[in-house]
Each structure stands twice: as structure tokens, then as C-alpha cells.
Amino acid sequence: MLYNLMNDRIFTSIFNDSKNKNVTARFLSDFLSLDYEYLKDNMKIKVRKRPIEIYSNPYVEFDLYVSLPDMVINVEANNRKRNEKSFAYAGKSYYENYDSKKEKVKKKVIQLNLNNYEKRDKEIEEIIPKDSVNTKYLQNFVIYEYFLPAIKELCYDEADERTKKIISWSVILLEKDINKVEKEVMKVLTKEDVPGFIEKMRKLCEEEKADEFWENYHANVDNINHIIKTERQLGKKEGKLIGKREGIKEGRAIGFEEGINRGISEGKTIGKKEGYSEIIKKMIKKDLSTDIIVSITGLSEKEILKIKEDIYNIEKNNEVLVL
């Protein structure tokens, strides 16, 4: 088994079954030293809603609430240390049974807390709460704290008969091995009750396992979808940044290369042009005709005449500077 009786659903399903009162009566009788026959014949198991002022969800049931002619018993199975809501439930049960006119409690209130955590100094504690001014004990109100892991480790052979029963119940409540549970159940329940108890517990554990599987399945699917969506968004964002960065880098490289090529091309053109100018100047100084220069260089007559004009202006300026 993956679960034990301290699981809320399994615990309430087992002990809130009014059709099988003898199991609940035996359970309460062994823990609280109450008469088994009296419990079985007189107790009423009440499925109660948690009051909204105590718990945010008013539709969640108490673990076990039993009403008798002279007392009420509230049982809580706690898997966390010092569960405050257990004391809140105990206080609520007390004041529901308190007669303010007569200033007394109509029924004795017993709160039984079954705790699945260690307490080394004491395995069992009896707490009688005091009133707000701490001058007297509240009437007919008692809380029992049972620390199941510590009780489970007690030596069975050296214990008295009542303690042996509580040790067996501690194993039944905590153990996840159905074979060990069955062995202990046979010590506290009648032979007629054992098969039904084991069969129901096994079925409840399987149902809980199935429910947890589907809860985890849907949670995992949602989680995976969320991760995929997030990774897609991050990938898209990162892709844009990388693309932009690489695009700028590549753009710069291309621009640089194109600039060089353009510079070379323009340089060649300018150089070629300047080279032609020098050759043309020499042709002009040799008194070659414009038609001959055009045919040799491929330049237009207008371009040749412009060069001649430039040569004339330069020479004229030089004469003026000499003078």
C-alpha cells in the first residue's frame, strides 16, 4: 500500500461508517478506556461541517465526531506538528455544549488528537485546559494527545493489556504494509470484523492511489504545457535577440566589404582619370591636335578642351607668381 489510515479520506471512510459502528466503538474504547458495549449501543456518528470562522472551507468534514448521551468525542488525525485547528475544534465543541445560564457544560467534551510525529518525553499527554484568567479548570473538558510513532516503538511484550491495544492501533494507523496491518487488526477486532476492515482499507488505498495518479497526471500535463509555452516564448525572444545581433554583425561585415569594394572601384576610376589627365597634358604640350587626342584616349572633345583650359590657367598663374 502507498497509504495508511492517517490519510484523511481513508480515516473518515473507515470510522465514519455508521453501518459498522462496532469498529469505531472498539477504536474509541481502546484509546479512551470507555465501555465498548455502551459506545456501540449509544453513540451517534455525526458528519459535521467545519465552521467557516475556523476553517476557510466550511464544507470539509471533521475526521470523526461522536455524540453520546453524556459526552461528545471529537477525533483528529494530525500529520503535522501541533495542529492548531484541532484545538479550535475542541473549543467549538465545548462551547456548543456550554449552558451559559447554568454556567456548566451539558456534556463532557473529549478531544482525541492522533499525531503522526515524534514526542520523546511522553507518548501520551492528558491536557485539561484552563479558563482565560487561569484560575480554575474548565469543567468536563479534556484533550488527549497520542504520539503514534513513539507509541508504535514501545515494547509490546512488556506493556499492560490496554497499552498493547494502543500499540496495535498505532501500527494499524501508521503502517503501509497491509499484511502487518492485518496482523495487528486481528489483535483488536473480532474475527468477523477483520475481513471487512482489511478489504475496505485495501479498496480505499487503491482508490486514493488512482485519484492521486490522475491529480498528478493533470498537474504534470499542465506543468509540461507551461514549460513548453515558457520555453517557446523564451526561445522566440532569445531568437530575436540573436537574430538582431547576428544581423547587425553580418550587416556591418557586408557594409565594410561593400565599402572597400566601392572604394577600390572609385579609386581605380579616379586613378585612371588622373592618369589620363597626365597623358593628355603631355599630348597637348607636344601640340597634338584635339581630334588625335580624342581618338587615342576615347575622351570627348569637351573633356579635352577642359583639360587644355586647366593647363593654360595653371601656367598663367605660375607666370604671375614669378613676376
Look at 83 and 230; give whichever has higher pLDDT: 230
On average, the pLDDT of the chain sits at 77
What are φ and ψ of residue 285, in 5° steps? -65, -25
pLDDT bucket at 73, cuts 50 / 70 / 90 = very high
So what's the pLDDT on residue 54? Answer: 41
Cα(241)–Cα(235) distance, rounded to whole angstroms?
Answer: 10
Cα(288)–Cα(283) distance, rounded to whole angstroms?
Answer: 6
So what's the pLDDT on residue 38? Answer: 95
How confident is the model over 249-273, as a mean pLDDT? 64
So what's the pLDDT on residue 300? Answer: 80
Whether the CB-CB separation of 263 and 269 falls below 8 Å is answered with: no
| Region class of 134: left (phi > 0), else alpha (psi between -120 and 50), else beta | left
Look at 73 and 102; give whichever has higher pLDDT: 73
Whether the CB-CB separation of 185 and 197 falls below 8 Å is answered with: yes
Residues of the chain above pLDDT 90, percent: 24
So what's the pLDDT on residue 322? Answer: 46
Closest residue by Cα to residue 6 from 94, 71, 83: 83
So what's the pLDDT on residue 146? Answer: 93
So what's the pLDDT on residue 128? Answer: 78
Cell numbers linked to 156:
509490546
- pTM greater than the 0.85 cutoff: no
Look at 251 and 122; give whichever has higher pLDDT: 122
So what's the pLDDT on residue 9? Answer: 83
So what's the pLDDT on residue 41? Answer: 94
pLDDT higher than threshold 60 for residue 60: no
So what's the pLDDT on residue 37? Answer: 95
Look at 145 and 264; give whichever has higher pLDDT: 145
Task: Average the pLDDT over each of 32-46, 186-200, 240-254 and give the range with the smallest value.
Answer: 240-254
So what's the pLDDT on residue 53? Answer: 44
So what's the pLDDT on residue 287? Answer: 75
Whether the CB-CB separation of 21 and 27 falls below 8 Å is answered with: no
Model confidence pLDDT, tens digit, residues 22-46: 999 999 999 999 999 999 999 998 8
So what's the pLDDT on residue 140? Answer: 81
So what's the pLDDT on residue 117? Answer: 82
Look at 301 and 180; give whichever has higher pLDDT: 180
How confident is the model over 213-239, as a mean pLDDT? 62
Closest residue by Cα to residue 26 from 18, 16, 17, 37: 37
